[in-house]
């Protein structure tokens, strides 16, 4: 199922995330997916997240499909040149994967193989364009394909970026290149998100607001220091700090954020980072 079908039905779309393990033991990841089966519409399968080498997103997307979960195959431009990226997209199609998400990718120095050669042959905009070209029956060299793949093509945007304008300009370019929906970096400030949605309103494209479940005040401070485009306001950090029941407070904050966003956008993307079992509570408390 393509996400575009859900947007066409005016459904409020809920996506979550599956993080492939370092190694080949997929049991914990699949358990986390099972907890959310039927409760969310699709799962992003991350591609060597934070430049840390792991099991591949293509293989895990295929495992999810076999399990009855809808995968969103993430591809970054960091590790593969245009030949490998196009080939993986064709592979994804024959494995039944219908949704993809195109990203630039973190720099190699952020991960556990900092000496790796950074590729970045394509960038997020040209990767989107490449996927669209394949869907039109041609490859980047202009050669005709035997059998044409089809994808719902997603992209990302960072509403908390400062300055925001270049992000919105790039979003316009992604849209013109062929993007059909957007997921955002984690949002903790509804006013900031409202400002972003106002600036992106003219684009008339489905946007899924991003949410990362806060696990502690320390995690919030860590993200403020280290994660670009993420800003957890002080009052939320204080609530986590003073809380006797971190899980309950985290669920409460996430539900407030979903409620704050849901009338402005077409869905939410919840990144639970191991706290998958609390996601149904977030959705219930948010009235979804």
Partner 1 sequence: MLVSELKPFDEILHSLDGESTIFLLGCHGCAEASHTGGEEEVRAMKTSLEEAGKTISSWTVLDFLCQKALIKTGLQPFKGQILASDSVLVMCCGVGVQAAAAAVDTIIHPACNTLSMGGAQGEWRGSERCEECGDCLLDFTGGICPITACTKSLINGPCGGAKDGRCEHQPDVRSCGWQLIYERLQKLGRLDKLAEIHTVRDHAKAEPPKALRSTTFWALEQAKE
Residues forming contacts to partner 1 in the complex (CB under 8 A) are 77, 82, 104-107, 109-110, 118, 120-126, 129-130, 140, 156-158, 161-163, 165-167, 169-170, 172-173, 176-177, 185, 228-229
Give whichever of 36 and 175 is closer to partner 1, judged by the CB atom: 175
Instruction: For residue 106, say if its preceding peptide bond is cis, omega within 30 degrees of 0.
Output: no
Give whichever of 103 and 261 is closer to partner 1, judged by the CB atom: 103
Give whichever of 66 and 226 is closer to partner 1, judged by the CB atom: 226
Q: How far is the CB of 285 from partner 1 (least distance, A)?
A: 29
Which CA distances in Å does 238 have to 117, 250, 274? 41, 12, 23
Give whichever of 229 and 267 is closer to partner 1, judged by the CB atom: 229
Segment holding 200, helix H or strand E: helix 190-200
Neighbours of 10 (CB within 10 A): 7
Q: Exposed, middle or buried by CB within 10 Å (0-12, 13-18, 19+), for 169?
A: exposed
Rounded CA separation 71/8 (Å): 19
Q: How far is the CB of 84 from partner 1 (least distance, A)?
A: 14
Q: How far is the CB of 255 from partner 1 (least distance, A)?
A: 26
Token output for 60: 């895990």
Give whichever of 119 and 145 is closer to partner 1, judged by the CB atom: 119
Neighbours of 53 (CB within 10 A): 12
Neighbours of 246 (CB within 10 A): 15
Give whichever of 81 and 198 is closer to partner 1, judged by the CB atom: 81
Going by C-alpha positions, the residue among 79, 159, 154, 74 that lies closest to residue 111 is 79
Dihedral angle of Cα 280, 285, 287, 288, to the nearest 10 degrees:
-20
Which CA distances in Å does 151 have to 112, 232, 255? 31, 34, 31
Q: How far is the CB of 117 from partner 1 (least distance, A)?
A: 12
22 touches 52 (CB < 8 A):
yes
Q: How far is the CB of 96 from partner 1 (least distance, A)?
A: 28
Q: How far is the CB of 271 from partner 1 (least distance, A)?
A: 14
Give whichever of 57 and 183 is closer to partner 1, judged by the CB atom: 183
Q: How far is the CB of 158 from partner 1 (least distance, A)?
A: 4
Neighbours of 108 (CB within 10 A): 19
């Amino acid at each position: 199922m393509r996400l575009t079908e859900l947007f066409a039905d005016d459904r409020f779309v809920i996506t979550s995330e599956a993080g492939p393990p370092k190694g080949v033991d997929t049991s914990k990841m699949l358990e986390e997916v099972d907890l959310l089966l039927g409760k969310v519409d699709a799962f992003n399968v991350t591609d060597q997240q934070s430049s840390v080498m792991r099991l591949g997103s293509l293989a895990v997307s295929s495992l999810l499909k076999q399990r009855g979960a809808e995968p969103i195959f993430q591809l970054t431009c960091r590790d593969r040149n245009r030949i490998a990226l196009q080939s993986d997209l064709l592979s994804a199609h024959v494995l039944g994967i219908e949704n993809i998400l195109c990203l630039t990718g973190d720099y190699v120095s952020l991960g556990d193989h900092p000496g790796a050669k950074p590729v970045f042959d394509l960038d997020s905009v040209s990767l989107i364009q490449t996927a669209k070209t394949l869907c039109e029956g041609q490859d980047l060299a202009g050669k005709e394909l035997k059998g044409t793949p089809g994808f719902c093509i997603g992209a990302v945007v960072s509403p908390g970026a400062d300055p925001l304008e270049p992000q919105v300009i790039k979003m316009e370019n992604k849209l013109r290149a062929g993007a059909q929906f957007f997921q955002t970096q984690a949002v903790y400030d509804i006013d900031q998100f409202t400002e972003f949605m106002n600036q992106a309103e003219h684009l008339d494209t489905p946007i899924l607001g991003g949410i990362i479940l806060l696990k502690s005040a320390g995690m919030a401070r860590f993200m403020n220091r280290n994660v670009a485009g993420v800003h957890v306001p002080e009052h939320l950090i204080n609530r986590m700090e003073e809380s006797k029941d971190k899980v309950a407070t985290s669920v409460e904050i996430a539900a407030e954020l979903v409620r704050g966003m849901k009338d402005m956008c077409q869905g939410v993307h919840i990144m639970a980072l191991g706290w998958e079992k609390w996601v149904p509570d977030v959705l219930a408390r948010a009235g979804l």
